[in-house]
Protein backbone atom coordinates (compact mmCIF):
# COMPACT_ATOMS: atom_id res chain seq x y z
CA UNK A 1 0.00 0.00 0.00
CA UNK A 2 1.26 3.46 -0.94
CA UNK A 3 -1.09 6.34 -0.23
CA UNK A 4 -0.65 9.13 -2.75
CA UNK A 5 -2.10 12.56 -2.02
CA UNK A 6 -2.22 15.92 -3.73
CA UNK A 7 -4.37 19.02 -4.20
CA UNK A 8 -6.45 19.93 -7.21
CA UNK A 9 -8.12 23.19 -8.17
CA UNK A 10 -11.66 23.31 -9.53
CA UNK A 11 -14.26 25.99 -10.11
CA UNK A 12 -17.71 27.05 -9.02
CA UNK A 13 -18.50 29.84 -11.43
CA UNK A 14 -15.62 32.28 -11.01
CA UNK A 15 -14.64 31.01 -7.54
CA UNK A 16 -11.43 28.97 -7.42
CA UNK A 17 -11.64 26.06 -4.99
CA UNK A 18 -8.94 23.64 -3.88
CA UNK A 19 -9.57 20.05 -2.82
CA UNK A 20 -7.20 17.58 -1.21
CA UNK A 21 -7.41 14.02 -2.51
CA UNK A 22 -5.78 10.73 -1.61
CA UNK A 23 -5.77 7.21 -3.04
CA UNK A 24 -3.87 3.93 -2.80
CA UNK A 25 -1.77 3.55 -5.95
CA UNK A 26 -1.45 -0.20 -5.35
CA UNK A 27 -5.03 -0.52 -6.60
CA UNK A 28 -4.97 -0.83 -10.39
CA UNK A 29 -8.68 -0.38 -11.10
CA UNK A 30 -11.07 2.51 -10.68
CA UNK A 31 -12.61 2.59 -7.24
CA UNK A 32 -15.41 4.37 -5.34
CA UNK A 33 -14.89 7.97 -4.25
CA UNK A 34 -15.95 9.60 -1.00
CA UNK A 35 -16.29 13.36 -0.76
CA UNK A 36 -15.41 14.87 2.63
CA UNK A 37 -17.12 18.14 3.52
CA UNK A 38 -15.30 20.17 6.16
CA UNK A 39 -16.56 21.85 9.32
CA UNK A 40 -17.16 25.59 9.63
CA UNK A 41 -13.49 26.60 9.66
CA UNK A 42 -12.80 25.39 6.09
CA UNK A 43 -10.80 22.56 4.53
CA UNK A 44 -8.21 21.85 7.20
CA UNK A 45 -5.92 19.00 8.24
CA UNK A 46 -8.83 17.23 9.95
CA UNK A 47 -10.64 16.91 6.60
CA UNK A 48 -7.40 16.04 4.76
CA UNK A 49 -6.66 13.30 7.28
CA UNK A 50 -10.10 11.78 6.69
CA UNK A 51 -9.28 11.66 2.96
CA UNK A 52 -6.13 9.69 3.70
CA UNK A 53 -7.98 7.33 6.03
CA UNK A 54 -10.57 6.68 3.34
CA UNK A 55 -7.76 5.99 0.87
CA UNK A 56 -6.46 3.35 3.27
CA UNK A 57 -9.91 1.72 3.07
CA UNK A 58 -9.59 1.45 -0.71
CA UNK A 59 -11.51 4.56 -1.76
CA UNK A 60 -10.51 7.85 -3.32
CA UNK A 61 -10.87 10.39 -0.51
CA UNK A 62 -11.70 13.89 -1.77
CA UNK A 63 -11.69 16.66 0.85
CA UNK A 64 -13.71 19.34 -0.89
CA UNK A 65 -13.59 23.11 -0.43
CA UNK A 66 -16.71 25.15 0.29
CA UNK A 67 -15.06 28.56 0.83
CA UNK A 68 -12.32 29.11 -1.76
CA UNK A 69 -8.66 28.31 -2.24
CA UNK A 70 -6.63 29.10 0.86
CA UNK A 71 -9.57 30.40 2.89
CA UNK A 72 -9.61 29.16 6.49
CA UNK A 73 -11.14 30.62 9.62
CA UNK A 74 -8.87 30.95 12.65
CA UNK A 75 -11.45 31.60 15.40
CA UNK A 76 -15.19 31.12 16.00
CA UNK A 77 -16.03 34.62 14.76
CA UNK A 78 -14.24 34.10 11.45
CA UNK A 79 -15.71 30.62 11.10
CA UNK A 80 -19.22 31.95 11.60
CA UNK A 81 -18.64 34.70 9.04
CA UNK A 82 -17.52 32.10 6.50
CA UNK A 83 -20.40 29.70 7.16
CA UNK A 84 -23.36 32.05 7.51
CA UNK A 85 -23.69 33.09 3.84
CA UNK A 86 -24.23 29.43 2.96
CA UNK A 87 -26.70 28.95 5.79
CA UNK A 88 -28.68 31.92 4.48
CA UNK A 89 -28.46 30.89 0.82
CA UNK A 90 -28.92 27.16 0.51
CA UNK A 91 -29.04 27.39 -3.29
CA UNK A 92 -25.47 28.72 -3.20
CA UNK A 93 -24.46 25.94 -0.79
CA UNK A 94 -25.93 23.25 -3.02
CA UNK A 95 -24.32 24.68 -6.15
CA UNK A 96 -20.93 24.80 -4.40
CA UNK A 97 -20.97 21.18 -3.24
CA UNK A 98 -22.26 20.01 -6.63
CA UNK A 99 -19.12 21.58 -8.13
CA UNK A 100 -17.07 19.20 -5.97
CA UNK A 101 -19.15 16.27 -7.16
CA UNK A 102 -18.43 17.19 -10.77
CA UNK A 103 -14.71 17.59 -10.01
CA UNK A 104 -14.29 14.21 -8.32
CA UNK A 105 -15.95 12.42 -11.23
CA UNK A 106 -13.13 13.64 -13.49
CA UNK A 107 -10.35 11.98 -11.47
CA UNK A 108 -8.95 9.02 -13.43
CA UNK A 109 -8.95 6.70 -10.41
CA UNK A 110 -12.67 7.15 -9.69
CA UNK A 111 -15.54 4.87 -10.62
CA UNK A 112 -18.06 7.66 -11.15
CA UNK A 113 -20.97 5.27 -10.68
CA UNK A 114 -19.93 4.76 -7.04
CA UNK A 115 -19.74 8.05 -5.16
CA UNK A 116 -20.67 8.93 -1.59
CA UNK A 117 -20.17 11.97 0.62
CA UNK A 118 -19.46 12.43 4.32
CA UNK A 119 -19.41 15.66 6.29
CA UNK A 120 -18.69 17.02 9.75
CA UNK A 121 -20.73 19.71 11.56
CA UNK A 122 -21.43 22.32 8.83
CA UNK A 123 -20.12 19.74 6.39
CA UNK A 124 -22.80 17.33 7.60
CA UNK A 125 -25.42 19.86 6.53
CA UNK A 126 -23.65 20.23 3.18
CA UNK A 127 -23.77 16.52 2.34
CA UNK A 128 -27.37 16.27 3.52
CA UNK A 129 -28.20 19.15 1.19
CA UNK A 130 -26.41 17.35 -1.63
CA UNK A 131 -28.74 14.40 -1.04
CA UNK A 132 -31.73 16.75 -0.76
CA UNK A 133 -31.10 17.99 -4.31
CA UNK A 134 -31.89 14.50 -5.58
CA UNK A 135 -28.47 13.77 -7.09
CA UNK A 136 -27.85 10.19 -8.12
CA UNK A 137 -25.08 9.17 -5.71
CA UNK A 138 -24.93 6.10 -3.49
CA UNK A 139 -25.15 7.69 -0.06
CA UNK A 140 -24.24 10.43 2.40
CA UNK A 141 -23.07 10.35 6.02
CA UNK A 142 -23.48 13.26 8.42
CA UNK A 143 -21.23 13.31 11.50
CA UNK A 144 -22.75 15.60 14.18
CA UNK A 145 -24.21 17.61 11.32
CA UNK A 146 -26.63 20.50 11.39
CA UNK A 147 -30.04 19.14 10.46
CA UNK A 148 -31.89 22.29 9.32
CA UNK A 149 -34.10 21.56 6.33
CA UNK A 150 -33.45 23.44 3.08
CA UNK A 151 -36.07 26.11 2.43
CA UNK A 152 -35.45 26.07 -1.32
CA UNK A 153 -36.22 22.37 -1.85
CA UNK A 154 -39.73 20.98 -1.79
CA UNK A 155 -40.98 17.51 -2.72
CA UNK A 156 -37.69 16.38 -4.30
CA UNK A 157 -37.17 12.62 -3.84
CA UNK A 158 -33.89 11.68 -2.18
CA UNK A 159 -32.08 8.97 -4.14
CA UNK A 160 -29.00 8.63 -1.91
CA UNK A 161 -29.09 6.49 1.20
CA UNK A 162 -28.67 8.63 4.31
CA UNK A 163 -26.86 7.94 7.57
CA UNK A 164 -26.92 10.58 10.32
CA UNK A 165 -24.53 10.06 13.26
CA UNK A 166 -25.76 12.24 16.07
CA UNK A 167 -24.91 13.18 19.63
CA UNK A 168 -28.07 13.10 21.72
CA UNK A 169 -26.86 16.07 23.79
CA UNK A 170 -25.87 18.16 20.76
CA UNK A 171 -27.20 21.68 21.48
CA UNK A 172 -26.99 22.55 17.77
CA UNK A 173 -29.37 19.76 16.75
CA UNK A 174 -31.85 19.22 19.56
CA UNK A 175 -34.07 16.11 19.83
CA UNK A 176 -37.04 17.97 18.35
CA UNK A 177 -34.95 18.87 15.30
CA UNK A 178 -33.89 15.24 14.97
CA UNK A 179 -37.54 14.17 14.84
CA UNK A 180 -38.26 16.84 12.22
CA UNK A 181 -35.28 15.59 10.21
CA UNK A 182 -36.48 11.98 10.35
CA UNK A 183 -39.95 13.07 9.23
CA UNK A 184 -38.40 15.06 6.38
CA UNK A 185 -36.32 12.09 5.24
CA UNK A 186 -39.36 9.82 5.37
CA UNK A 187 -41.47 12.24 3.33
CA UNK A 188 -38.69 12.45 0.70
CA UNK A 189 -38.68 8.67 0.35
CA UNK A 190 -35.14 8.36 1.65
CA UNK A 191 -33.61 5.08 2.76
CA UNK A 192 -32.38 6.65 5.99
CA UNK A 193 -30.98 5.67 9.36
CA UNK A 194 -29.93 7.62 12.46
CA UNK A 195 -27.45 6.53 15.12
CA UNK A 196 -27.85 8.58 18.28
CA UNK A 197 -25.06 8.47 20.88
CA UNK A 198 -25.85 9.08 24.53
CA UNK A 199 -23.81 11.45 26.73
CA UNK A 200 -22.47 12.99 23.51
CA UNK A 201 -22.37 16.60 22.39
CA UNK A 202 -21.44 18.38 19.14
CA UNK A 203 -18.08 17.82 17.39
CA UNK A 204 -17.64 14.42 19.05
CA UNK A 205 -15.17 13.24 16.38
CA UNK A 206 -12.76 16.14 16.87
CA UNK A 207 -10.02 15.34 19.43
CA UNK A 208 -9.35 19.02 20.14
CA UNK A 209 -13.00 19.88 20.86
CA UNK A 210 -13.22 20.72 24.56
CA UNK A 211 -15.73 23.52 25.15
CA UNK A 212 -18.73 22.16 27.03
CA UNK A 213 -20.19 25.65 27.46
CA UNK A 214 -20.34 25.97 23.67
CA UNK A 215 -21.48 22.36 23.29
CA UNK A 216 -18.43 20.97 21.48
CA UNK A 217 -16.73 18.06 23.26
CA UNK A 218 -14.74 15.12 21.91
CA UNK A 219 -16.21 11.73 22.82
CA UNK A 220 -13.88 8.84 22.07
CA UNK A 221 -16.52 6.08 22.11
CA UNK A 222 -18.83 7.98 19.74
CA UNK A 223 -15.87 8.82 17.50
CA UNK A 224 -14.90 5.15 17.22
CA UNK A 225 -18.46 3.86 16.86
CA UNK A 226 -19.42 6.43 14.23
CA UNK A 227 -16.37 5.68 12.06
CA UNK A 228 -17.20 1.97 12.18
CA UNK A 229 -20.82 2.74 11.30
CA UNK A 230 -19.61 4.77 8.31
CA UNK A 231 -17.38 1.91 7.14
CA UNK A 232 -20.28 -0.54 7.29
CA UNK A 233 -22.50 1.91 5.45
CA UNK A 234 -19.96 2.45 2.66
CA UNK A 235 -19.41 -1.30 2.30
CA UNK A 236 -23.19 -1.72 1.88
CA UNK A 237 -23.80 1.05 -0.64
CA UNK A 238 -20.79 0.23 -2.81
CA UNK A 239 -21.55 -3.50 -3.07
Indicate whether 223 pLDDT > 80.
Answer: yes
What confidence tens digit (pLDDT) does each residue in 191-212 have? 999 999 999 999 999 999 999 9
CATH number of 3-237: 3.40.50.1820
Indicate whether 1 pLDDT > 90.
Answer: no
pLDDT band at 112 (very low <50, low <70, confident <90, very high): very high
What confidence tens digit (pLDDT) does each residue in 127-142 have? 999 999 999 999 999 9
Please report the pLDDT score of residue 18 as a whole number: 98
- Burial letters for 21-58: b for 16+ Cβ neighbours within 10 Å, e otherwise? bbbbeeeeeebbbbbbbbbbbbbeebbbebbbbbbeeb
pLDDT band at 217 (very low <50, low <70, confident <90, very high): very high
What confidence tens digit (pLDDT) does each residue in 14-38 have? 999 999 999 999 999 999 999 999 9
Task: Look over the chain and give the mean of its residue pLDDT values, rounded to a whole number.
Answer: 97
Whether the model pTM is above 0.85: yes
Please report the pLDDT score of residue 31 as a whole number: 98
Q: Whole-angstrom Cα distance, residue 134 to residue 206?
A: 30
What confidence tens digit (pLDDT) does each residue in 75-95 have? 999 999 999 999 999 999 999
Q: Please, how many CA atoms are within 13 Å of residue 19, restricted to the half-sphere of its CB?
A: 28
Domain residue ranges of the chain, discontinuous segments joined by +: 3-237
Please report the pLDDT score of residue 82 as a whole number: 98
Amino acid sequence: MAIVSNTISYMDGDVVLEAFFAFDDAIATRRPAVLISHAWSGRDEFANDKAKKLAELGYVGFALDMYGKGILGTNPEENMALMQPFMHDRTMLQKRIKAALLAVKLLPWVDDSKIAAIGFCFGGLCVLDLARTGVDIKGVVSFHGLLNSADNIHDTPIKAKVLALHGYDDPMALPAQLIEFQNEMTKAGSNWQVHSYGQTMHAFTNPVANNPDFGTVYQADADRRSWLAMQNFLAEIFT
